[in-house]
Amino acid sequence: MSGTNDFVIKFATVNGSGSASANTIFAKTLFRMGIPVSPKNIFPSNIQGLPTWYEVRVSEAGYMARRDGIDLMVAMNPQTYANDVAEVVSGGWLLYDSTMPRLWQRTDITVLGLPIAEICAKIWKDARQRQLFKNMVYVGALTALLDMDVKVLEGVVGDQLKGKEKLLAANMQAVAIGREYAEAHFECPLPIKVRHAEGAKGKIMVTGNEAAGLGAVYAGASVCAWYPITPSTSLAEGFEKHARRFRVTKDGKRNYAIVQAEDELAAIGIAIGGGWNGARSFTATSGPGISLMSEFLGLAYFAEIPVVLYNIQRGGPSTGMPTRTGQPDIISCAYASHGDTKHVLLFPSSPTECFSMSTDAFDLAERLQTPVMVMSDLDIGMNDWMTDPFTWDDNWVADRGKVLSREELEGFAKAKGRPWGRYQDVDGDAIPYRTLPGTHETMGAYFTRGTSHDENARYTEDGTIHARIVDRIRRKFDTAATLVPKPEVNIRDAGSRTGLIYFGATRPAVLEALDYLDRDGFKLNALRLKAFPFTEEVKAFCAAHDRIFVIEQNRDAQMRQLLMVEAEVPQEKLIATLNYDGTPMTADFVRQAVLKQLQPAKAQAAE
């Protein structure tokens, strides 16, 4: 599989050594050369000193899933040498700092020794510079080994150093040193190399969290509260970054309010307070935060308050794997809080969708007067993804839902044939009309509460009324099913009774696997879920297929369970296909899992 514009390179470095920016420069250079790249940051829960990796898949075909089998390992961390060298595929390459020469046990790979520490010690006196430029020296060596366009690289470095231009020359000097050493000592370029291509043209490279933060700015969010937690932190920071740019009035004041709360309880409380008072309001968190926010989510559900929550999922349970990815919060979010609760979930599968689904989320939250959770994850949220550029329709009008103005409130009884009551289902869609504080001197005031209430928001302990209210709120979920984004259905063979359901970050792996399975002789129809509640299309797809692989990244097949319970799909139809080791899913994993079921013998042979 490996060759020109088709390989995987992995950087093994030490956290806090400055390698992250060098690695980003490497990936961005290939991207600007037009080559599809997919970088994955594999980092520890640590700031300095522990091992960290950066994996870049290069694929002219545009396959952007993580791929196993490292063709070239840039091993810069002696701590992890043993494992790193073992990961290289037979026939692959290992580039390492040979200042201290090592004997490597493998004879089936080519070892490239680059005495980086020695070189840097000669040129730079300052210890920090020696450390930082080491990274650019190996990048320089790679430009020769992989035949990268140095002009493009210089442009990328220049962009990264905006405002610190004097560092550009020193960085490019380090690149030249590495390049010259490689040219003089190695056979350059390697058989795995790069060339200008078209696949990345017109795309952007961005993290899902920044995209979601930007999306919240575009959706008109003006109240944000959050508590730092990996991997969601950069979402609130992304919102702030773009709000600072786009939301400042002529007199320098801010058209947004953001508070770093004291904990997740306060973060969701603030977001709910803002939503109650008519601002588009949100918070961002991850698994442990969801647990803490659950009580408040029940309040917002029952008192019918719009709020948006971005859940950037990570490996659980408990603190779990804070810096590894997963999809383990499907059930805890779908049913968050005690009592009978059910929530609207959206599943973006790329940064582009993190942006566009932000608008959906705020519209749905206000239309339905309920919490809406955007279920991203660490892989989408924190890794740079090559993705379609953001688009915006200037004719878009925000759906602010049923909020009564002063005039509407005064004319309500006449227009609707009955007096206004906060929790009256006037339109038959189970969605009541709400008012905001300060609307009218004598009309529209009501008491919001988490205790049972009647249609006029008055406290009640009457069980009949309670049941009536919770039934209406459940019916609101039926309305939700008609409003949420429809799934992406890909029918490859109209006659096939075998299908596959997936969602979120597994999209690149699944799409690639479907191509391979085609070649294996299996045309699978596929459906990508974009939302919960499940729409009619989901039910129809399940009805039309006898065997459905449900691809997800958690142990308990949570989406499969949800399909069984909420879409009433017979469990024997649904084949759990699960990966939960914290790494982004690979196409090979999906392919093998499917083959195991469809053609056990072939799968065994392939293993």
Partner 1 sequence: MTYITKPLAHHPALPRNALGLTHRDYEGSMSTLCAGCGHDSITAAIIEACYEMDLPAHRIAKLSGIGCSSKTPTYFLGRSHGFNSVHGRMPSVTTGANMANKDLVYIGVSGDGDTASIGLGQFAHAVRRKLNMSYIVMNNGCYGLTKGQFSATNDKNSPSKKGEANPFDAIDLCQMAIQLGAGFVGRSFSGDKKQLIPLIKAAISYKGFAFLDVISPCVTFNNHPTSTKSFDYVRAHNLASENKLDYVEPKEEITVSYAEGETAAVTLHDGSKLLLNKLDGGHDFRDPDEAILTIRRNASKGQVATGLLYVNEAGEDLHDALDTTDRPLNEIPVAELCPGSKALEGVNARFR
The footprint of partner 1 on residues 456-515 (CB under 8 A) is 458-462
d(CA 95, CA 99): 12
Strands of 344-346's sheet in order across = 257-260, 223-226, 281-285, 307-313, 371-377, 344-346, 531-532
The interface region with partner 1, picked from 394-402, 475-483, 492-500, 545-553 by CB under 8 A, is 394-402
Radius of gyration of the chain (CA): 27
181 touches 141 (CB < 8 A): yes
For residue 451, what are the CA distances in angstroms to 297, 420, 447, 573?
14, 21, 11, 41
Nearer to partner 1, 137 or 206 (CB): 206
Binder of partner 1 out of 124, 256, 412, 420 (CB under 8 A): 256
The interface region with partner 1, picked from 5-13, 71-79, 87-95, 217-225 by CB under 8 A, is 217-225
Regarding 449 and contact with partner 1 (CB under 8 A), the answer is: yes
Regarding 136 and contact with partner 1 (CB under 8 A), the answer is: no
Of 135, 145, 146, nearest to 171 by C-alpha is 135
Q: Tell the smallest beta-carbon distance from residue 10 to partner 1 (Å).
A: 24
d(CA 126, CA 18): 15
How is residue 438 written in tokens?
């300060």
d(CA 552, CA 557): 7
Regarding 340 and contact with partner 1 (CB under 8 A), the answer is: no
Regarding 570 and contact with partner 1 (CB under 8 A), the answer is: no
Q: Tell the smallest beta-carbon distance from residue 273 to partner 1 (Å).
A: 3
Q: Tell the smallest beta-carbon distance from residue 29 to partner 1 (Å).
A: 13
Interactions with partner 1, residue window 148-207 (CB under 8 A): 203-206
* Helix (H) or strand (E) run with residue 10 in it: strand 6-14
Q: Tell the smallest beta-carbon distance from residue 45 to partner 1 (Å).
A: 24
Binder of partner 1 out of 68, 187, 263, 546 (CB under 8 A): 263
Nearer to partner 1, 263 or 568 (CB): 263
Helix (H, G, I), strand (E, B), or coil: what is residue 77?
Answer: coil
CA atoms within 13 A on the CB side of 65: 24
Binder of partner 1 out of 79, 83, 451, 597 (CB under 8 A): 451
Helix (H, G, I), strand (E, B), or coil: what is residue 6?
Answer: strand
Regarding 266 and contact with partner 1 (CB under 8 A), the answer is: yes
Regarding 222 and contact with partner 1 (CB under 8 A), the answer is: yes
* Helix (H) or strand (E) run with residue 34 in it: none
The CA-based angle 450-453-454, given to 5 degrees, is 155
309 touches 270 (CB < 8 A): no
Binder of partner 1 out of 9, 70, 144, 270 (CB under 8 A): 270
The interface region with partner 1, picked from 54-62, 246-254, 339-347, 496-504 by CB under 8 A, is 246-254
d(CA 55, CA 58): 10
Nearer to partner 1, 244 or 497 (CB): 244
Regarding 367 and contact with partner 1 (CB under 8 A), the answer is: no
Nearer to partner 1, 3 or 438 (CB): 438
d(CA 326, CA 312): 9
Regarding 125 and contact with partner 1 (CB under 8 A), the answer is: no
Total count of residues recorded for the chain: 607
Binder of partner 1 out of 147, 149, 154, 295 (CB under 8 A): 295
Regarding 400 and contact with partner 1 (CB under 8 A), the answer is: yes
Regarding 18 and contact with partner 1 (CB under 8 A), the answer is: no
Is cis: bond before 191, omega within 30 of 0?
A: no
Regarding 214 and contact with partner 1 (CB under 8 A), the answer is: yes
Nearer to partner 1, 310 or 549 (CB): 310
Binder of partner 1 out of 111, 217, 526, 529 (CB under 8 A): 217
Regarding 397 and contact with partner 1 (CB under 8 A), the answer is: yes
Regarding 437 and contact with partner 1 (CB under 8 A), the answer is: yes
How is residue 397 written in tokens?
């009008």
Regarding 274 and contact with partner 1 (CB under 8 A), the answer is: yes
Nearer to partner 1, 91 or 389 (CB): 389
The interface region with partner 1, picked from 5-13, 41-49, 430-438, 573-581 by CB under 8 A, is 430-438
How is residue 269 written in tokens?
């409380």
Interactions with partner 1, residue window 23-52 (CB under 8 A): 32
* Helix (H) or strand (E) run with residue 228 in it: none
For residue 309, what are the CA distances in angstroms to 15, 323, 432?
30, 20, 22
Q: Tell the smallest beta-carbon distance from residue 447 to partner 1 (Å).
A: 4
* Helix (H) or strand (E) run with residue 25 in it: helix 19-32
Q: Tell the smallest beta-carbon distance from residue 217 to partner 1 (Å).
A: 7
